[in-house]
Protein backbone atom coordinates (compact mmCIF):
# COMPACT_ATOMS: atom_id res chain seq x y z
CA UNK A 1 0.00 0.00 0.00
CA UNK A 2 1.13 3.53 -0.79
CA UNK A 3 1.20 6.66 1.32
CA UNK A 4 -0.38 9.91 0.23
CA UNK A 5 -0.58 13.55 1.12
CA UNK A 6 -4.10 14.85 0.52
CA UNK A 7 -4.18 18.61 0.04
CA UNK A 8 -7.13 20.94 0.20
CA UNK A 9 -6.81 23.46 -2.64
CA UNK A 10 -8.02 26.96 -1.70
CA UNK A 11 -5.99 28.32 1.20
CA UNK A 12 -3.45 25.47 1.14
CA UNK A 13 -2.18 25.47 -2.45
CA UNK A 14 -3.45 28.81 -3.72
CA UNK A 15 -4.53 32.21 -2.51
CA UNK A 16 -8.13 32.76 -1.47
CA UNK A 17 -9.68 35.66 0.42
CA UNK A 18 -6.51 37.68 -0.22
CA UNK A 19 -5.92 41.22 -1.43
CA UNK A 20 -5.44 39.85 -4.94
CA UNK A 21 -8.34 37.38 -5.13
CA UNK A 22 -11.49 36.66 -3.15
CA UNK A 23 -12.59 33.36 -4.74
CA UNK A 24 -11.04 31.28 -7.50
CA UNK A 25 -13.75 31.07 -10.16
CA UNK A 26 -11.44 31.57 -13.15
CA UNK A 27 -7.91 30.42 -14.05
CA UNK A 28 -6.76 34.07 -13.93
CA UNK A 29 -7.65 34.08 -10.22
CA UNK A 30 -5.36 31.13 -9.45
CA UNK A 31 -2.10 32.08 -7.69
CA UNK A 32 0.14 29.55 -5.93
CA UNK A 33 1.02 30.35 -2.34
CA UNK A 34 4.71 30.81 -1.55
CA UNK A 35 6.56 27.55 -0.92
CA UNK A 36 3.79 25.25 -2.18
CA UNK A 37 5.64 23.93 -5.24
CA UNK A 38 8.74 23.33 -3.14
CA UNK A 39 6.69 21.44 -0.52
CA UNK A 40 5.01 19.26 -3.16
CA UNK A 41 8.43 18.52 -4.72
CA UNK A 42 9.58 17.26 -1.31
CA UNK A 43 6.51 15.01 -1.08
CA UNK A 44 7.11 13.73 -4.62
CA UNK A 45 10.77 12.95 -3.84
CA UNK A 46 9.85 11.25 -0.56
CA UNK A 47 7.59 8.84 -2.46
CA UNK A 48 4.20 10.17 -1.38
CA UNK A 49 1.35 10.29 -3.86
CA UNK A 50 -0.03 13.84 -3.83
CA UNK A 51 -3.75 14.45 -4.25
CA UNK A 52 -5.92 17.55 -4.25
CA UNK A 53 -9.29 17.13 -2.51
CA UNK A 54 -11.48 20.21 -2.77
CA UNK A 55 -15.04 21.37 -2.21
CA UNK A 56 -16.10 23.47 -5.19
CA UNK A 57 -19.59 24.61 -4.23
CA UNK A 58 -19.30 27.47 -6.72
CA UNK A 59 -20.32 24.98 -9.40
CA UNK A 60 -23.54 24.02 -7.60
CA UNK A 61 -24.22 27.66 -6.79
CA UNK A 62 -23.80 28.64 -10.45
CA UNK A 63 -20.67 30.81 -10.07
CA UNK A 64 -18.74 28.64 -12.51
CA UNK A 65 -19.11 25.65 -14.81
CA UNK A 66 -17.08 22.45 -14.49
CA UNK A 67 -15.21 23.43 -17.67
CA UNK A 68 -13.84 26.50 -15.86
CA UNK A 69 -12.83 24.33 -12.92
CA UNK A 70 -10.96 22.05 -15.33
CA UNK A 71 -9.06 25.09 -16.65
CA UNK A 72 -8.23 26.20 -13.10
CA UNK A 73 -6.86 22.74 -12.32
CA UNK A 74 -4.92 22.66 -15.60
CA UNK A 75 -3.32 25.98 -14.62
CA UNK A 76 -2.55 24.65 -11.13
CA UNK A 77 -0.88 21.55 -12.55
CA UNK A 78 1.06 23.58 -15.15
CA UNK A 79 2.24 26.13 -12.55
CA UNK A 80 3.40 23.31 -10.28
CA UNK A 81 5.02 21.35 -13.12
CA UNK A 82 6.97 24.45 -14.15
CA UNK A 83 8.55 24.29 -10.69
CA UNK A 84 9.15 20.52 -10.75
CA UNK A 85 6.13 19.49 -8.63
CA UNK A 86 3.49 16.93 -9.55
CA UNK A 87 -0.09 16.29 -8.45
CA UNK A 88 -1.10 12.65 -8.94
CA UNK A 89 -4.87 13.12 -8.96
CA UNK A 90 -7.64 15.60 -8.15
CA UNK A 91 -11.06 14.95 -6.63
CA UNK A 92 -13.70 17.60 -6.07
CA UNK A 93 -17.24 18.02 -4.82
CA UNK A 94 -19.27 20.22 -7.18
CA UNK A 95 -22.35 20.38 -4.95
CA UNK A 96 -23.79 23.33 -3.06
CA UNK A 97 -23.01 23.63 0.63
CA UNK A 98 -25.70 21.92 2.74
CA UNK A 99 -26.97 19.93 -0.26
CA UNK A 100 -26.44 16.68 1.65
CA UNK A 101 -24.26 15.03 -0.99
CA UNK A 102 -21.95 12.18 0.01
CA UNK A 103 -18.76 13.82 -1.30
CA UNK A 104 -18.51 17.23 0.38
CA UNK A 105 -15.90 17.56 3.11
CA UNK A 106 -16.13 17.06 6.10
CA UNK A 107 -17.25 13.69 4.75
CA UNK A 108 -14.37 11.37 3.85
CA UNK A 109 -15.80 10.00 0.58
CA UNK A 110 -13.34 11.75 -1.77
CA UNK A 111 -10.32 10.66 0.27
CA UNK A 112 -11.58 7.07 0.39
CA UNK A 113 -12.33 7.12 -3.35
CA UNK A 114 -8.78 8.25 -4.17
CA UNK A 115 -7.35 5.74 -1.69
CA UNK A 116 -9.23 2.87 -3.34
CA UNK A 117 -8.27 4.01 -6.84
CA UNK A 118 -4.55 4.37 -6.02
CA UNK A 119 -4.14 1.63 -3.34
CA UNK A 120 -3.38 4.09 -0.52
CA UNK A 121 -2.96 3.20 3.15
CA UNK A 122 -5.11 5.91 4.77
CA UNK A 123 -3.75 5.54 8.34
CA UNK A 124 -0.23 6.03 6.95
CA UNK A 125 -1.30 9.12 4.98
CA UNK A 126 -1.81 12.81 5.79
CA UNK A 127 -4.64 15.25 5.06
CA UNK A 128 -3.64 18.93 4.99
CA UNK A 129 -6.24 21.68 5.18
CA UNK A 130 -6.87 25.20 6.31
CA UNK A 131 -10.38 24.74 7.70
CA UNK A 132 -12.33 22.44 9.99
CA UNK A 133 -14.06 20.45 7.18
CA UNK A 134 -10.63 19.43 5.83
CA UNK A 135 -9.42 18.23 9.22
CA UNK A 136 -12.69 16.40 9.94
CA UNK A 137 -12.57 14.64 6.54
CA UNK A 138 -9.01 13.50 7.23
CA UNK A 139 -9.97 12.26 10.68
CA UNK A 140 -12.99 10.36 9.34
CA UNK A 141 -10.77 8.74 6.69
CA UNK A 142 -8.32 7.67 9.39
CA UNK A 143 -5.45 9.92 8.19
CA UNK A 144 -3.04 12.02 10.18
CA UNK A 145 -4.14 15.66 9.89
CA UNK A 146 -2.31 18.96 9.51
CA UNK A 147 -3.85 22.41 9.82
CA UNK A 148 -2.12 25.21 7.88
CA UNK A 149 -2.90 28.89 7.28
CA UNK A 150 -5.52 28.70 10.03
CA UNK A 151 -7.75 31.74 10.42
CA UNK A 152 -8.73 30.65 13.93
CA UNK A 153 -7.13 29.67 17.21
CA UNK A 154 -9.03 26.36 17.17
CA UNK A 155 -6.93 23.50 15.81
CA UNK A 156 -9.92 21.10 15.45
CA UNK A 157 -7.81 18.37 17.09
CA UNK A 158 -5.47 18.23 14.09
CA UNK A 159 -2.36 16.16 14.71
CA UNK A 160 -0.15 19.12 13.81
CA UNK A 161 -0.47 22.82 12.99
CA UNK A 162 1.86 24.96 10.88
CA UNK A 163 1.79 28.46 9.41
CA UNK A 164 1.94 27.10 5.84
CA UNK A 165 2.50 23.97 3.77
CA UNK A 166 6.26 24.52 3.44
CA UNK A 167 6.63 24.63 7.23
CA UNK A 168 4.71 21.33 7.51
CA UNK A 169 7.11 19.41 5.24
CA UNK A 170 9.49 18.05 7.92
CA UNK A 171 6.59 16.79 10.06
CA UNK A 172 4.90 15.14 7.06
CA UNK A 173 8.15 13.55 5.85
CA UNK A 174 8.64 12.18 9.38
CA UNK A 175 5.26 10.41 9.03
CA UNK A 176 6.63 8.68 5.94
CA UNK A 177 9.65 7.45 7.88
CA UNK A 178 7.51 6.39 10.87
CA UNK A 179 5.20 4.29 8.69
CA UNK A 180 8.19 2.59 7.07
CA UNK A 181 9.35 1.19 10.42
Which residues does the annotation mark as catalytic? Answer: 8, 10
- Alpha carbons 55 and 16: distance in angstroms, whole number: 13
Residue 8, CA atoms < 13 Å, CB-side half-sphere: 31
- Alpha carbons 73 and 67: distance in angstroms, whole number: 10
**DSSP notation for 103-170:** SSTTSSHHHHHHHHHHTB-GGG-EEEESSHHHHHHHHHHT-EEEEES-SSS--TT-SEEESSHHHHHH
> Angle 66-44-151 (CA atoms, 0-180°, nearest 5)?
60
Amino acid sequence: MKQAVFLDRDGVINEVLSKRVKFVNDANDFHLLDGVAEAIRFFNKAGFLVFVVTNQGGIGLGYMKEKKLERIHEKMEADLKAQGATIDDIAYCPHKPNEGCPCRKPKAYLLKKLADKHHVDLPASVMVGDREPDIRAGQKAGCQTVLVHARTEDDFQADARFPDLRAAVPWIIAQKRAAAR
